[in-house]
């Protein structure tokens, strides 16, 4: 109840503020203006290393920055006020917008950039917006990477009609119908929607984890009592184009564990009986809508733009003021001042920017070439995305790769399908770059030197590895699957087979998920039950609390909310907390920051208070002990951690003597297997101390 109350207060404040600011009738306001929130950040790392230097929304798609497509769509939709929320590379976005035609007096809408530098997710951004009180009426929520030509009048009219009838219809999602394996349907982010056939009310949302391993979806029986005909749809492309009521940011504030707009927010609203809010879908059967959220979709959307599926948004509509594209037969788009040698060949579906020079004998097929590029003699380019100022050496071959601004590909080099060459990388002569390589010059956190093996002795750049990201992102397995330009089905199949042959238990899988950084599809296999998702979320919540040093009350509250939302038993809350705390302890020890005792004290002195709201009686204490013991079995120095943890919790009066006695002497599980016995090897001595109540434990060494 706590967070809810707070949220309502916040909502109340927000409303007050908005009515003061606007100073007119709420309904009239709704009819006149349409706000749009553009989330310029994707909160993902799939485009790395390209996005290390530039935000995703400024990446060039068919020689036009992605965000232009979004603005064009908003202009067509009749939006009158655009708020761009930016986080990573905010200054670049601000600068871009300030210099664009959208900031000019002739712009169809007013534009404003809002910095939200702390936000790590869509949820954070929404909470930030709610706190800033910028939203006054129903608004359009889009990301800065959509390409869409759906006329919006009808969608909006339907939404408003529903809202007029029912204030609880807080959101309308725009979904495009396509085939389930459509190329612009992002493999990892597709989902199954269950809609009421008559009203299009969304009743169930289920993310498809990884295509292969979800065998079935479960539908709650209540929906069958309330609705007669339900459409289960696996053929929607969900571009995250939503019309939201101002309740949506407020709900994000109320539920601070909501991060993702779909799998947290939509799922949360649909599964919550308390809120009583409803979400609707608008199904688009014709027109185009796609979101560039992975390199595969980047590839697919580029092709769609070139083949004019997105009309009127095509290269020859020259979205930017200085563009001079002209359409030629066979979907070839050329700007002015392109220099083509007599003997070069430009095949169909190609875009070439201004002042690019293509030398004799070069062959370009189905590719996008930026401005001021130099394509050497007899170079072969097919299906590639080459941005501005790139030099391709003579006889080089570029096949289905992305080449960033200013990169240089040496003579006779071969760039294999799927490779990414980031900004200003120089690939030497005669080098073959594998399809799974990503070359960059941006060092990021680790200072690194040129990897001459990858780029050649005369090259500059090194191989980018996204290991560091893995730990932070819960969905990393999906990133692995979806980040490649080429969706490597063969390798996926292989790992599928390896999964089915290894019959791991869920706990083992979960343990590995956090620790193994090499990309393995095995973890993706988990068909996530509610229980598991609770464990994951709860664990993440405690971890977040520790890293961001939250107030203990807030952390406890968050856990409590989560527990109620998922209806999880306390046992699982304890398990999640234990896992998070011990893994923190373990990290401190493994990184040689502290010794075992010190680490345990450091973590538990502050955070063990969480257990006060999780452990209520003797049985709970025994359960807690078992959980600690079990968790310690898979840690380095587990026995030491166990010992000090028990000691510390005993000192903090969270564990009572009788519980410890019962756990050690009576609970069969405490000596259930070899691991459990081994990890408990130090316990008897401590018990001895406990019983004799002597102060010897001070001298216990840490090993």
| Total number of residues that touch other proteins (CB under 8 A) | 33
Per CB under 8 A, the list member of 27, 32, 153, 197 interacting with other proteins is 197
Per CB under 8 A, the list member of 231, 341, 486, 687 interacting with other proteins is 231
What 3-state DSSP class applies to 237?
Answer: strand
- By CB under 8 A, the residues from 46 to 65 that bind other proteins are none
Q: Which residues contact 628 (CB under 8 A, 6 or more apart)?
A: 578, 582, 642, 645, 646
Nearer to other proteins by Cβ, of 227 and 355: the residue is 227
> Which span (2-10, 125-133, 222-230, 436-444) binds other proteins, by CB under 8 A?
222-230
- Determine, following the binding rule CB under 8 A, whether residue 198 of this chain makes contact with other proteins: no
- Determine, following the binding rule CB under 8 A, whether residue 532 of this chain makes contact with other proteins: no
Nearer to other proteins by Cβ, of 489 and 508: the residue is 489
Nearer to other proteins by Cβ, of 22 and 217: the residue is 217
702 to 599, 600, 642, 663, 699: CA distances (angstroms): 11, 11, 12, 23, 9
Per CB under 8 A, the list member of 228, 501, 591, 692 interacting with other proteins is 228
- Determine, following the binding rule CB under 8 A, whether residue 232 of this chain makes contact with other proteins: yes
Per CB under 8 A, the list member of 132, 233, 374, 613 interacting with other proteins is 233
Q: Write down the least CB distance from residue 227 to other proteins, Å.
A: 7
Nearer to other proteins by Cβ, of 213 and 602: the residue is 213
Q: Write down the least CB distance from residue 197 to other proteins, Å.
A: 6
Nearer to other proteins by Cβ, of 501 and 592: the residue is 501
Q: Write down the least CB distance from residue 537 to other proteins, Å.
A: 20
Nearer to other proteins by Cβ, of 235 and 700: the residue is 235
Q: Write down the least CB distance from residue 510 to other proteins, Å.
A: 22
- Are 595 and 589 in contact, with CB atoms under 8 Å apart? yes
Q: Write down the least CB distance from residue 677 to other proteins, Å.
A: 37
Question: Can you tell me the distance from the alpha carbon of 339 to that of 358, in angstroms, rounded to the nearest whole number?
Answer: 6
Nearer to other proteins by Cβ, of 53 and 496: the residue is 496
Number of other CB atoms surrounding residue 294 within 10 Å: 25
Question: Can you tell me the distance from the alpha carbon of 60 to that of 373, in angstroms, rounded to the nearest whole number?
Answer: 14
Evaluate the CA torsion angle 471, 473, 479, 481 in order and state its sign.
Answer: positive
What 3-state DSSP class applies to 307?
Answer: coil
- Determine, following the binding rule CB under 8 A, whether residue 525 of this chain makes contact with other proteins: no
- Are 139 and 160 in contact, with CB atoms under 8 Å apart? no
Q: Write down the least CB distance from residue 500 to other proteins, Å.
A: 7
DSSP at 317: G
Q: Which residues contact 584 (CB under 8 A, 6 or more apart)?
A: 543, 546, 603
- Determine, following the binding rule CB under 8 A, whether residue 567 of this chain makes contact with other proteins: no
Task: Give the neighbor-by-neighbor strand order of the sheet with 462-463.
Answer: 326-328, 332-334, 350-352, 368-369, 385-386, 402-403, 420-421, 438-440, 462-463
Per CB under 8 A, the list member of 220, 337, 434, 688 interacting with other proteins is 220
Q: Write down the least CB distance from residue 228 to other proteins, Å.
A: 5
Full DSSP string of 436-502: T-EEE---TTS-----HHHH-TT-B-EE---HHHHHH-TTHHHHHHHSSSS--HHHHHHHHHHHHHS
* Binding track over 156-195 against other proteins, x by CB under 8 A: -----------------------xx-----------x-x-
Per CB under 8 A, the list member of 20, 24, 216, 505 interacting with other proteins is 216
- Beta bridge partners of residue 146, listed in sequence order: 291
**Nearest in space to 210 (alpha carbons), one of 584, 495, 412, 459:** 495
Q: Write down the least CB distance from residue 297 to other proteins, Å.
A: 18
Nearer to other proteins by Cβ, of 265 and 499: the residue is 499
Q: Which residues contact 82 (CB under 8 A, 6 or more apart)?
A: 35, 36, 38, 71, 74, 102, 109, 110, 111, 112
Q: Write down the least CB distance from residue 503 to other proteins, Å.
A: 14
Nearer to other proteins by Cβ, of 109 and 534: the residue is 534
Q: Write down the least CB distance from residue 225 to other proteins, Å.
A: 8
Full DSSP string of 666-688: I-GGGGSSHHHHHHTTTHHHHHH
> Which span (233-241, 258-266, 308-316, 639-647) binds other proteins, by CB under 8 A?
233-241
Per CB under 8 A, the list member of 219, 511, 540, 594 interacting with other proteins is 219
Strands 414-415, 397-399: pairing kind: parallel
Per CB under 8 A, the list member of 120, 217, 363, 661 interacting with other proteins is 217
Q: Which residues of 204-242 are buried (b: 16+ CB within 10 A; e: fewer)?
A: bbbbbbbbbbeeebeeeeeeeeebeebeebebbbbbbbb
**Region class of 79: left (phi > 0), else alpha (psi between -120 and 50), else beta:** beta
- Determine, following the binding rule CB under 8 A, whether residue 263 of this chain makes contact with other proteins: no
Nearer to other proteins by Cβ, of 98 and 489: the residue is 489
- Determine, following the binding rule CB under 8 A, whether residue 224 of this chain makes contact with other proteins: yes
Structural element, H or E, at residue 334: strand 332-334
> Which span (54-62, 63-71, 207-215, 504-512) binds other proteins, by CB under 8 A?
207-215
Question: Can you tell me the distance from the alpha carbon of 650 to that of 597, in angstroms, rounded to the nearest whole number?
Answer: 14
- Determine, following the binding rule CB under 8 A, whether residue 112 of this chain makes contact with other proteins: no
- By CB under 8 A, the residues from 482 to 521 that bind other proteins are 489, 492-493, 496-497, 500
Contacts to other proteins by CB under 8 A: 179-180, 192, 194, 197, 208, 211-212, 214-221, 224-225, 227-235, 489, 492-493, 496-497, 500
């Amino acid at each position: 109840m706590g967070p809810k109350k707070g949220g309502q207060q916040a909502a109340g404040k927000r409303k007050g503020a908005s009515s003061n600011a606007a100073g007119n009738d709420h309904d009239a306001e709704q009819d006149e203006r349409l706000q749009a929130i553009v989330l310029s950040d994707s909160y993902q790392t799939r485009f790395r290393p390209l996005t290390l230097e530039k935000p995703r929304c400024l990446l060039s798609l068919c020689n036009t920055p992605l965000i232009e497509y979004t603005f064009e769509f908003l202009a067509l939709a009749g939006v009158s006020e655009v708020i761009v929320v930016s986080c990573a590379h905010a200054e670049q976005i601000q600068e871009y917008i300030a210099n664009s035609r959208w900031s000019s007096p002739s712009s169809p809408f007013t534009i404003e950039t809002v910095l939200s530098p702390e936000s790590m997710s869509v949820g954070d951004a929404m909470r930030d917006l709610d706190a800033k009180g910028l939203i006054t009426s129903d608004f359009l929520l889009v990301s800065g990477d959509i390409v869409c030509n759906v006329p919006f009048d009808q969608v909006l009219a339907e939404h408003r009609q529903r809202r007029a009838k029912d204030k609880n219809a807080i959101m309308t999602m725009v979904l495009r119908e396509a085939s389930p394996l459509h190329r612009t349907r992002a493999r990892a982010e597709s989902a199954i929607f269950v809609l009421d056939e008559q009203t299009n009310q969304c009743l169930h949302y289920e993310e498809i984890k990884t295509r292969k391993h979800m065998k079935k979806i479960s539908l709650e029986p209540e929906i069958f009592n309330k609705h007669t005909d339900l459409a289960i749809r696996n053929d929607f492309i969900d571009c995250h184009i939503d019309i939201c009521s101002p309740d949506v940011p407020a709900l994000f504030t109320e539920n601070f564990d909501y991060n993702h707009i779909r799998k947290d927010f939509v799922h949360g609203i649909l599964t919550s009986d308390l809120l009583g809010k409803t979400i609707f879908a608008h199904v688009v059967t014709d027109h185009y809508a796609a979101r560039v959220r992975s390199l595969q979709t980047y590839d697919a959307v580029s092709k769609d733009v070139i083949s004019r599926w997105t009309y009127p948004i095509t290269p020859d509509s020259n979205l930017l003021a200085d563009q001079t594209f002209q359409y030629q037969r066979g979907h070839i788009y050329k700007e002015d001042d392109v220099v083509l040698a007599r003997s070069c060949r430009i095949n169909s579906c190609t875009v070439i920017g201004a002042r690019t020079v293509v030398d004799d004998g070069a062959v370009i097929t189905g590719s996008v070439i930026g401005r001021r590029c130099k394509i050497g003699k007899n170079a072969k380019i097919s299906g590639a995305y080459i941005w501005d100022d790139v030099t391709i050496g003579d006889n080089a071959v570029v096949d289905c790769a992305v080449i960033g601004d200013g990169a240089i590909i040496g003579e006779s080099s071969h760039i294999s399908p799927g490779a990414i060459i980031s900004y200003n990388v120089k690939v030497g002569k005669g080098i073959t770059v594998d399809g799974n390589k990503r070359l960059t010059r941006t060092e990021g956190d680790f200072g690194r030197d040129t990897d001459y093996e990858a780029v050649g002795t005369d090259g500059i750049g090194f191989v980018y590895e996204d290991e560091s990201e893995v730990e932070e992102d819960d969905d990393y397995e999906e990133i692995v699957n979806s980040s490649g330009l080429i969706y490597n089905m063969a390798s996926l199949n292989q790992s599928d087979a390896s999964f089915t042959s290894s019959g791991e238990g869920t706990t083992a899988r979960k343990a590995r998920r956090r620790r193994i950084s090499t990309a393995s599809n095995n973890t993706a296999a988990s068909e996530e039950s509610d229980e598991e998702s609770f464990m994951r979320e709860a664990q993440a919540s405690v971890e977040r609390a520790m890293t961001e040093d939250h107030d203990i009350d807030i952390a406890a509250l968050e856990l409590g909310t989560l527990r109620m939302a998922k209806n999880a038993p306390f046992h699982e809350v304890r398990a999640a907390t234990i896992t998070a705390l011990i893994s923190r302890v373990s990290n401190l020890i493994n990184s040689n920051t502290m010794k075992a005792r010190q680490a345990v004290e450091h973590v538990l002195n502050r955070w063990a208070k969480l257990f006060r709201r999780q452990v209520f009686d003797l049985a709970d204490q025994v359960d807690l002990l078992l959980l600690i013991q079990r968790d310690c079995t898979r840690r380095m120095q587990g026995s030491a951690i166990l010992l000090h943890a028990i000691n510390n919790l005993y000192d903090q009066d969270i564990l009572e003597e009788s519980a410890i006695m019962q756990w050690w002497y009576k609970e069969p599980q405490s000596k259930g297997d070899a691991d459990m016995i081994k990890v408990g090897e130090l316990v008897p001595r401590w018990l001895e101390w406990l019983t004799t109540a002597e102060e010897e434990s001070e001298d216990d060494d840490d090993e």
